[in-house]
Every structure is written in C-alpha cells, then in structure tokens.
C-alpha cells in the first residue's frame, strides 16, 4: 500500500485484524451452507470446522483450535464398524472372507475420494498457503482423510445413529447396486487376464512411501515383462498394489 507521495506504507494491526475478521466470517458462512446442503445441524460447529482443518492451516493460524488428524483416526474406526454392520445385515449369504474384501473396496482411498468429491468436500478444506499452492486441495489422500474426519466429527456430535444415517445416503446405496463388486480384487483379475494372453510373470514393487506415520501413503508399480505397467496409490501396501493392478488392467484392455 502507498501514500499520496508514492511511498510504501506498512499495514497496521487494525488492517490485519479487519482482514482476519472477514476471513473468519467467510469460513463461518461456508460451514453454515455445508450444514444446509447436507441437512445436518451440528450442536458443536467447531467439531465440523476441525474435521476440515488441515495441519498446514493450524501451523499458519495461531488461533486455530486444532487439525483433523485425531478425528480422521476416529472416523476410520466408525466407518469400519458401520460398513461392517451394514454388510453383515444385508449379505447373510457371504462368507467372512467375501465380506472383508467387499468392505475393503468400500473404505479404500479411491472410494472415499469419490464420496468426498460427491459432497464437494474439497471446497471446504482449510489449508495452509504452501499446501494450497502444491495442489493439496485435490490430493487423493487428503480428500480421503477429510471424509473420515467428517464421519468422526459427526459421530462425536450426534452419535453412531447419525453417522449411519449419513452413510445410508452417501455410501450404502452404491453398495446395493453392486458398484463395489467389480473393485474387490484387481490383482486376481490381472493374474487371470495375463494368463489368458500369456504375457509372463507379474511383479509388484513399492516405489515410494510418503506422508506422516499416522497417514502413510504408498505408491506401487506392477510390471509384466517389459510390455505392461501400472502405478497405484493407497494407504496400505495392499491397497496400492490393488490400484496398480487396476491401472495395468486398463492398459491391458487397450493393447488386446
């Protein structure tokens, strides 16, 4: 900012406080709109905000209450329980192994990203400037974490029944249509496809690990001789390998 003589003038604390107040008001409006859109009213709105608060935002904003990492931990457990109960009650003919594979397909990172994107959760995330500039808002692992932390916040605020009601709208209808059946075991599908076309031996390799210990992300590569390759990411080595196999299957369909 410059004065009439063209000299630079430092912004005083009043200007900064006024800007911070506008930012806080905008955040409040965003979360009010989200509750209206989801038809969910939080008793403790601070919990809702925390669910969307990335650690990078907390590091830059001293007045922030805390990030969403602990809520993510809780939400992961709530998801496992509620999805397990749904599958147990609706698929009495399935074995334990079949239910485990189906649950893994529902709560894996790519699925959670789809759920988060459906509700436009990426627009709600509170990020630090550095994380924003590096594309963090659309990073799959971050979006999956936010969906879990939202479930954790909803559970704390309103109980397991509210979490189940939300999942009954967001997740369970897709399960009923068989959407996740095709995603249960890409590695087996790839193995069968490779045997049919006779390409050779399949090799999996973890080529990168990134992120903090509580929110690790793995990158896997699958190769079949020198003719086929697939890259996948996941929050476990098995999930990363499944996603790599999925990409390799897509490439195989193009070639044959």
pLDDT at 213: 73
pLDDT at 178: 84
Residue 220 maps to which CATH number? 3.30.160.20
Asked if residue 233 belongs to a domain, the reply is yes
Structural tokens at position 115: 């759920």
Cα–Cα nearest to 75, from 139, 136, 163, 168 = 163
Q: CA torsion angle for 193, 140, 84, 171 (degrees, to 10)?
A: -100
Structural tokens at position 3: 């004065």
Pick the last residue of a domain from 162, 183, 204.
183
pLDDT at 171: 95
Residues 144 and 226 in one domain: no
Binding-site annotation: residue ranges for Mg(2+): 72, 145, 148
Query: Rounded to the nearest 5 degrees, what angle is found at the Cα of 144, between the Cα atoms of 143 and 145?
Result: 90
pLDDT at 173: 94
Binding-site annotation: residue ranges: 72, 145, 148
Side by side, which strands form the sheet with 228-234?
A: 202-210, 217-224, 228-234
Residue 61 maps to which CATH number? 1.10.1520.10
pLDDT at 13: 46
Task: List residues with catalytic annotation.
Answer: 76, 148
Contacts of 250 (CB under 8 A, 6+ apart): 230
Residues 214 and 94 in one domain: no
Pick the last residue of a domain from 183, 217, 246.
183
How big, in percent rounded to 5, are the helix, strand and coil portions of the chain?
65, 10, 25
Residues 73 and 178 in one domain: yes
- In the beta sheet, which residues pair with residue 126? 53
pTM, to two decimals: 0.71
pLDDT at 77: 96
Which strand (E) or helix (H) includes residue 203? strand 202-210
Q: How far apart are CA 16 and CA 62, in angstroms?
A: 14
Q: Which domain holds residue 179?
A: 13-183
Q: How far apart are CA 208 and CA 39, in angstroms?
A: 40
Q: How far apart are CA 180 and CA 172, in angstroms?
A: 10
Residues 138 and 215 in one domain: no
Asked if residue 6 belongs to a domain, the reply is no
Q: Are 134 and 48 in contact (CB under 8 A)?
A: no
Pick the last residue of a domain from 159, 183, 207.
183
Residues of the chain predicted below pLDDT 70: 1-22, 62-64, 182-184, 214, 256
Q: Are 63 and 136 in contact (CB under 8 A)?
A: no
pLDDT at 191: 87
What is the DSSP secondary structure assignment for residue 175, as one 8-state letter? H
Residues 35 and 53 in one domain: yes
Longest Cα–Cα distance in the chain: 81
């Amino acid at each position: 900012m410059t004065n009439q003589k063209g000299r630079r003038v430092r912004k005083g604390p009043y200007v900064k406080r006024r800007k911070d107040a506008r930012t806080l008001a905008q955040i409040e409006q965003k979360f009010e709109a989200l509750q209206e859109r989801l038809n969910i009213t939080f008793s403790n709105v601070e919990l809702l905000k925390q669910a969307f608060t990335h650690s990078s935002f907390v590091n830059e904003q001293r007045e922030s209450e805390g990030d969403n990492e602990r809520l993510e931990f809780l939400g992961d457990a709530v998801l496992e329980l509620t999805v397990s109960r749904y599958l147990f009650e609706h698929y009495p003919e399935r074995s334990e192994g079949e239910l485990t594979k189906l649950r893994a397909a529902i709560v894996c990172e790519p699925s959670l990203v789809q759920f988060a994107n459906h509700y436009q959760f990426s627009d709600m995330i509170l990020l630090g400037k550095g994380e924003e500039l590096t594309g963090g808002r659309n990073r799959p692992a971050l979006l999956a974490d936010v969906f879990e932390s939202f479930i954790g916040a909803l559970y704390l605020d309103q109980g397991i029944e509210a979490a189940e009601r939300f999942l009954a709208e967001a997740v369970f209808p897709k399960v009923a249509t068989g959407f996740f059946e095709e995603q249960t075991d890409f590695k087996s599908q790839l193995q069968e496809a490779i045997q049919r076309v006779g390409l050779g031996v399949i090799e999996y390799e973890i080529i990168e690990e990134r992120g903090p210990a509580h929110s690790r992300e793995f990158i896997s590569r699958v190769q079949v001789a020198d003719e086929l390759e697939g890259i996948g990411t996941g929050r476990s080595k098995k999930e990363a390998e499944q996603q790599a196999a999925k990409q390799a299957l897509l490439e195989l369909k193009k070639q044959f």
